[in-house]
């Protein structure tokens, strides 16, 4: 069996991906968790607690497990200000260490969860070959690691995947500061919501679609950079309105700056089209997300 190690396994994408990978009989799946939140994985999955920001712990992890494949999802995103936090430098350093030790131990495939924040938001359509520009500290550090990874892996004969994820939404999202979960939370609590950038255009991908794409790419022979997004533009006005309509709370929704043309960022999914199945309809994805929040908190009028 091939051992695949997933860092950030207790995160939003990670827990869904571990469940999907565990269905493949060819994989011995090892889920790396920080221990900060409790997550139940399938019985066939081995769980290892590790603080990846500590050098000795991450070195021991790779030495003991000796994975053939790493799916490196872990990165500090616990707080709303993570994009410009100094912790991004710590994660850059840790990721380089993980990469070096992985290659040293004989690893074969390194899959890295990059981000759409590596792109210039003013370009509109984001293509993998377009020159990346400086953005937030988060985007800059992810971009730096992507460059180091590709160079180091090519020199050492290791297949690498630089997967640049656009905004993932869906059931089980622990982040309450994103536009979709924050809007759902406030409307369920009967709070007024103001959309301050209604003309901003974003690319949203349903978590189960992101997982399917990720698994398909890992199982392929692909090497290089690839966008993981829907390729479908959605204005924030459309997103907020859809959520409010689904909850029957349109009267609580307001808009500002409707005469301002705002930022555009949508994935070029030409490469991804070779791997994706038929993606779920955005309206159904939002409905599923809202239903999860309702189940999570028991009743629609409960404050959380």
Contacts of 293 (CB under 8 A, 6+ apart): 181, 184, 185, 188
| Cβ atoms < 10 Å from Cβ of 220 | 12
What is the pLDDT at residue 261? Answer: 74
Q: Are 207 and 171 in contact (CB under 8 A)?
A: yes
- Tell me how far the alpha carbon of residue 169 is from its chain's centroid: 9
- CA-CA distance, 44 to 46, in Å (whole number)? 7
Instruction: Look up the pTM and report it.
Output: 0.89
Domains and CATH numbers, the chain: 2-167+205-228 (3.40.50.720), 171-203+231-296 (3.90.25.10)
Cα torsion through 235, 200, 288, 170, rounded to 10:
150
Q: Round to whole Å and give the CA distance between 2 and 7.
A: 16
pLDDT at 69: 98
Structure tokens given for 20: 């999907």
- Which class for 279: exposed (0-12), middle (13-18), buried (19 or more C-beta within 10 A)? buried
Q: What is the pLDDT along the chain (304 residues), one digit of tens a residue?
A: 899 999 999 999 999 999 999 998 899 999 999 877 778 899 999 999 999 999 999 999 999 999 999 999 999 877 667 777 888 999 999 999 999 999 999 999 999 999 888 886 555 555 566 554 556 888 899 999 999 999 999 999 999 999 999 999 999 887 767 899 999 999 999 999 999 999 999 999 999 999 999 999 999 999 999 999 999 999 999 999 999 999 999 999 999 987 777 778 899 999 999 886 788 999 999 999 999 998 887 644 455 4
Q: Residue length, the chain?
A: 304
String of DSSP letters for 197-264: -TT-EEEEEEHHHHHHHHHHHHTS---EEEEES---EEEHHHHHHHHHHHHT-GGGEEE--TT----B
């Amino acid at each position: 069996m091939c051992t695949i190690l997933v860092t950030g396994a207790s995160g939003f994408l990670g827990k869904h991906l571990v469940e999907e990978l565990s269905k493949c009989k060819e994989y011995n799946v090892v889920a790396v968790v920080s221990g900060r939140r409790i997550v139940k994985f399938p019985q066939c999955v081995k769980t290892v607690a590790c603080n990846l920001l500590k050098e000795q712990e991450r070195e021991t992890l790779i030495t003991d497990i000796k994975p053939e494949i790493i799916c490196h999802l872990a990165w500090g995103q616990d707080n709303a200000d993570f994009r410009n936090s100094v912790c991004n430098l710590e994660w850059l350093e840790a990721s380089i260490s993980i990469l070096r030790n992985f290659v040293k131990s004989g690893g074969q495939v390194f899959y890295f969860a990059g981000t759409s924040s590596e792109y210039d938001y003013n370009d509109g359509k984001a293509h993998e070959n377009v020159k990346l520009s400086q953005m937030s500290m988060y985007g800059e550090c992810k971009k730096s690691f992507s460059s180091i990874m590709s160079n180091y892996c090519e020199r050492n004969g290791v297949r690498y995947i630089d997967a640049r994820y656009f905004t993932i939404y869906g059931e089980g999202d622990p982040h309450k500061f994103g536009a979709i979960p924050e809007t759902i939370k406030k409307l369920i609590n009967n709070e007024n919501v103001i959309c301050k950038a209604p003309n901003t255009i974003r690319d949203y991908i349903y978590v189960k679609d992101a997982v399917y794409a990720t698994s398909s790419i890992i199982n392929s022979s692909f090497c290089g950079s690839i966008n993981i997004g829907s390729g479908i533009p959605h204005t924030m006005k459309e997103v907020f309105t859809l959520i409010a309509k689904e909850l029957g709370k349109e009267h609580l929704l307001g808009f500002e700056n409707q005469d301002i043309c705002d930022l555009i960022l949508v994935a070029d999914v030409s490469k991804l089209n070779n791997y994706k199945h038929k993606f779920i309809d955005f309206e159904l994805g939002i409905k599923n997300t809202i239903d999860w929040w309702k189940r999570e908190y028991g009743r629609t009028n409960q404050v959380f």
